[in-house]
Amino acid sequence: MTLTRETTAVGRQTKLPETSRAAVLTEFGESLEIRELPVPTELEPGALLVRILASSICGSDVHLWSGTLGGSQAMELPVIPGHEMVGEIVAVGEGADTDTFGSDLSIGDRILYTHGSCGRCFHCAVANQPTLCADRRYYMFTNCERPPYLVGGFSEYCYVFPQSGRVKVPDAVDTAWASAASCALRTVVHSFDRIGRIEPWQNVVIQGAGPLGLFATALASRAGAARVITIGAPDNRLEIAKAYGATDVLSVEEVPSAEERPAAVRSLLGRGADIVFEFSGARSAFLEGLEMVEHGGRYMVTGQIAKPGEEISFLPGVITRRQLTVMGTWSGHINEYWKSLQFMEQTKGQYDWDLLTPNRYSLERATEALRRMKAQEDIKPIIEPSGS
């Protein structure tokens, strides 16, 4: 589909600018550069063009900016950070007039959308694990000096890949909440899907009190766990964890020793936890988590990113002898996006999601927002590229 700059058929395309302002990463650890990038004049079949209403900052964005993401994903600078975003549709490519679940899409609709999995490889077509697709098209990792240019959330406009799953945001879900759901919550939902059922007599430990850990606290509480212990810092985040259903919290500032924290958990419970979720990303967290899991228990590792120089040593026999189930989760696909939005819609009166997203930033202040999140001064900063 060829785009024009003027309004055409209602519901297909609205008036478009020639360029889009974007905050661009040109050098790791340095301030983002505001650039004017071309708005694509062609849409592939199945593609969409959206105006970004909100792009929440993920911990991965901070790691990307600071250069500590390691070998997570190949990339060529410059790139546009941001992969948690809500877009308002401004142009609809051929065959892109419904979301993944069959709901009609029109100009002005708010959507969440995934990275673009190929749909043909073994992981997509056979294993039904599209987040492991080897031919995935990524936001925030894709060079922004080549078409389609607008491939990250820190931009006024973004190109939605034809292979990207997409889902309409329910009217009852606030835009900032939906943005936070599009990576943090959907990753947590994926982790909960993989770990299996939580029984009402089981105890759950959440390692980490960042966005993922706080969402996980709410999900574990909602699932009916007997006790939910959230571990992290600072204190204001632990207070949110309590508001989200944690029966107990453990401050890593008050118990700074990695060797003492498993003992503290066992003291609270009288034994190990039935299920432990790792969402902290801390280097010591994996070994701590193993020691917190009760014999026969389950351990889900989600917050760890493969970074050279952060290898650890452990005895595999611990897993064997204690008959542990240890699993990992990477990202999330469109079904987890849908479930995340449903969870937010159904629990908006139970959990105050505004506690996670109180602060808004312009594109010009995107670097400040990244620095504040890295310093734990913000839980989930929201970039509003168009000043929405």
For 87-132, how does the pLDDT look when each residue is reduced to its tens digit (9 = 90+)?
999 999 999 999 999 999 999 999 999 999 999 999 999 999 999 9
Which of helix, strand or coil describes residue 73?
A: coil
Which of helix, strand or coil describes residue 165?
A: strand
Give the least confident one: 67-76, 173-182, 184-193, 334-343.
67-76
The topology (CATH level 3) of 19-172+348-383 is Quinone Oxidoreductase; Chain A, domain 1 (3.90.180)
Q: How far apart are the first and last CA of the chain?
A: 28
Domain boundaries, the chain: 19-172+348-383, 187-328
Domain boundaries 187-328, CATH class: alpha beta
DSSP string, 245-263: T-SEEEETTTS--TTHHHH
Which DSSP letter does residue 184 get? Answer: I
Q: How far is CA 188 from the centre of its chain?
A: 8
Residue 13 has pLDDT above 90, yes or no: no
Residue 26 has pLDDT above 90, yes or no: yes
Q: How confident is the model at residue 386 (pLDDT cuts 50, 70, 90)?
A: confident
Q: How confident is the model at residue 211 (pLDDT cuts 50, 70, 90)?
A: very high
Q: Which residues 6+ apart lie within 8 Å of 326 measured at CB?
A: 290, 298, 299, 301, 319
CB 204 within 8 A of CB 198: yes
Give the pLDDT score at 11. 43
Which of helix, strand or coil describes residue 5?
A: coil
Q: How confident is the model at residue 9 (pLDDT cuts 50, 70, 90)?
A: very low
CB 298 within 8 A of CB 329: no
Residue 12 has pLDDT above 80, yes or no: no
- The whole-model pTM stands at 0.94
Residue 388 has pLDDT above 70, yes or no: no
Q: What share of residues in the chain are helix, strand, coil (percent, to 5)?
A: 30, 25, 45
Q: What is the distance between the alpha carbons of residues 326 and 317, in angstroms, rounded to a whole number?
A: 13
Residue 7 has pLDDT above 60, yes or no: no
Q: How confident is the model at residue 71 (pLDDT cuts 50, 70, 90)?
A: low
Q: How many Å is the Cα radius of gyration of the chain? A: 21
Q: What is the distance between the alpha carbons of residues 364 and 357, in angstroms, rounded to a whole number?
A: 19
Say which residue the tokens 């902290």 belong to.
280
On the CB side of 268, CA atoms within 13 Å amount to 21
Omega before residue 38 within 30° of 0, cis: no
Comparing CA positions, the residue from 357, 366, 217, 213 lying closest to residue 281 is: 213
Give the pLDDT score at 69. 78
CB atoms closer than 10 angstroms to residue 279 = 32
Give the least confident one: 131-145, 237-251, 261-275.
131-145
pLDDT digits (tens, 9 = 90+) for 165-192: 999 999 999 999 999 999 999 999 999 9
Say which residue the tokens 């026999």 belong to.
317
Give the pLDDT score at 73. 67
